[in-house]
């Protein structure tokens, strides 16, 4: 190890080490580069300090892009945030290993074996962790792994509800059945429709989108089904409708709940007969279209009120995809926030490493009525006004801080759940986690989970992703019992 990597600027480790003959001549980055396997070093806050080229080859993430980010969001894995081997190695000071999946930059699932080794200083205190990743996809003795290619779609998430949706898309895309995508405003319905078309056998055909809530009712029929010359005043030539334009491809009707009742009847006829009848026309025109619809409305409620045809609803929801709101997707919030941060800092030419712990806390606890779209706007705003190396709480919109919901622990707790009184908890340390070691951070997470669940240990363990025995052991360790 007598040379330095010509393509990399030597970096100093972010943790203390004993000065001596070896430490004075060793280049830690060169050590990593000499390893023929993916390796990354994380500091006491579990943020990426340095990574080698093998790690970039495996994950697709260049070192300069991920330095300073929380390692968990870089790995984007099936390992749980608070119980993955890297955190355990830092907490317990012992080597750990586990098998799971990571999702690379191309949205492909890669099976790996993760080895985590604590790196102590001269006093024996663990001050960093070396994480090594074995690529198991090349092991022919292992069963084939699912691979979901979502490149360019920006559908990001590893929460169970989103993984279930993403895993189903390649299968659903191969059918010609109608699809109904439901979910609150901003949950990503348009992206799901676009991905279904992209993964389908119709991807060489047109992908036509129509917003049923954006067009006046008197123009909607002409837009969907077309018209002949002279059909109405101003119709000076034939015009093909969106069904004709999407022939051989996919027609996506968003906000289908806003479609007038009269046109619902005609749409049902088109689905049954596979023909459209242009306004003013004397013959029907065959159409070969795969129909995808979406809405944020409760169509079942609308059918009960007579605002939507039940027979049409049955035809539209042959396949139904329900997208969860962002507030129910757990750590996907910070994963998406990191994704948008990279996008906007590159767009604006800013050198922002990540989020402060207080900013992360507010991002994680906000309810997001506007879902992913609102989060994207929040991050764009924060990046625009941030003038430091990290997004601080002052860079976030004021309403995000003012409307953050707090947990009401004044409600009566059922006796069977009252395993720990929340008023008996010691105060949670506040401030930037960069001033805390992992033991203090872990203690804070446990206390926050117990307060959020009003002292219910079983729910707190589930919230943290731990077994109850693990929670009890760690509570005893931190004096929280």
Q: 108-112, 269-273, 287-291, 304-308: lowest mean pLDDT where?
A: 108-112
In this predicted structure, the answer to whether residue 169 has a pLDDT above a threshold of 70 is yes
pLDDT of residue 26: 56
CA distances (Å), origin 390, targets 363, 379, 394, 395: 14, 12, 11, 9
Give the contacts of 425 (CB within 8 A, at least 6 positions apart): 447, 450, 451, 480
In this predicted structure, the answer to whether residue 427 has a pLDDT above a threshold of 70 is no
pLDDT of residue 402: 64
Q: What is the DSSP string of 1-12?
A: -----TTS----
| Beta-bridge partners for 117 | 130
- For the chain, the residue count is 481
Q: How many CB atoms lie within 10 A of CB 172?
A: 17
In this predicted structure, the answer to whether residue 421 has a pLDDT above a threshold of 70 is no
What is the overall mean pLDDT for the chain? 77
pLDDT of residue 174: 87
Question: 149 or 83: whose pLDDT is higher?
Answer: 83
Q: How many CB atoms lie within 10 A of CB 357?
A: 20
If you average pLDDT over residues 249-257, what whole number do you get? 93
Both tokens assigned to 61? 């993430």
Question: 15 or 216: whose pLDDT is higher?
Answer: 216
Q: Percentage of the chain with pLDDT > 70?
A: 78
pLDDT of residue 7: 45
In this predicted structure, the answer to whether residue 195 has a pLDDT above a threshold of 70 is yes
Answer whether 296's CB lies under 8 Å from 184's CB: yes
Highest mean pLDDT among 138-152, 234-248, 423-437: 234-248
Instruction: Using a cut of 0.85, tell me whether the model's pTM lies above it.
Output: no
């Amino acid at each position: 190890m007598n040379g330095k990597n010509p393509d990399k600027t030597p970096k100093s480790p972010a943790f203390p080490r004993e000065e001596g003959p070896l430490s004075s001549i060793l280049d830690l980055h060169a050590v990593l580069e000499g390893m023929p396997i993916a390796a990354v070093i994380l500091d006491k806050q579990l943020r990426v300090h340095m990574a080698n080229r093998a790690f970039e080859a495996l994950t697709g993430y260049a070192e300069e892009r991920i330095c300073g980010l929380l390692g968990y969001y870089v790995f984007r894995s099936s390992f749980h945030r608070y119980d993955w081997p890297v955190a355990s190695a830092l907490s317990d000071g012992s080597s750990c290993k586990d098998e799971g999946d990571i999702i690379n930059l191309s949205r492909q699932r890669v099976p790996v074996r993760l080895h985590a080794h604590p790196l102590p200083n001269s006093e024996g205190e663990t001050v960093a962790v070396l994480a090594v990743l074995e690529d198991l996809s090349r092991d022919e003795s292992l069963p084939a792994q699912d691979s979901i290619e979502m490149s360019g779609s920006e559908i990001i998430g590893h929460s169970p509800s989103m993984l279930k949706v993403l895993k189903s898309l390649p299968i659903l895309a191969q059918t010609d059945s109608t699809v109904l995508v439901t979910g609150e405003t901003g949950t990503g319905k348009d992206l799901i429709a676009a991905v279904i078309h992209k993964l389908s056998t119709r991807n060489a055909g047109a992908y036509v989108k129509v917003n049923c809530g954006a067009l006046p009712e008197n123009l909607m029929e002409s837009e969907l089904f077309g018209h002949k010359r002279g059909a109405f005043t101003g119709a000076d030539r034939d015009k093909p409708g969106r069904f004709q334009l999407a022939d051989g491809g996919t027609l996506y009707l968003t906000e289908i709940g806003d479609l007038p009742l009269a046109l619902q009847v005609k749409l049902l006829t088109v689905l049954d007969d596979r023909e459209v009848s242009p306004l003013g026309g004397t013959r029907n025109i065959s159409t070969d279209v795969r129909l995808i619809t979406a809405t944020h409305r409760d169509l079942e409620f609308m059918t009960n009120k007579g605002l939507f045809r039940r027979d049409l609803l049955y035809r539209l929801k042959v396949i139904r995809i329900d997208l969860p709101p962002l507030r129910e997707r757990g750590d996907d919030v910070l994963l998406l926030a990191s994704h948008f941060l990279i996008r906007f800092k590159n767009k604006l030419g800013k050198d922002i490493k990540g989020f402060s712990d207080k900013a992360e806390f507010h991002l994680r606890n906000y309810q997001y009525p506007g879902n992913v779209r609102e989060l994207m706007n929040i991050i764009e705003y924060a990046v625009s006004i941030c003038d430091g190396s990290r997004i601080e709480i002052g860079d976030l919109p004021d309403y995000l801080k003012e409307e953050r919901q707090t947990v009401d622990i004044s409600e009566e707790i059922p006796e069977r759940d009252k395993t720990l009184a929340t008023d008996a908890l010691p105060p949670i340390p506040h401030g930037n986690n960069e001033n805390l070691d992992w033991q203090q951070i872990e203690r804070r997470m446990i206390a926050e989970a117990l307060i959020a669940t009003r002292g219910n240990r079983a729910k707190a363990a589930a919230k943290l992703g731990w077994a109850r025995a693990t929670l009890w052991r760690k509570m005893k360790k931190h004096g929280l019992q």
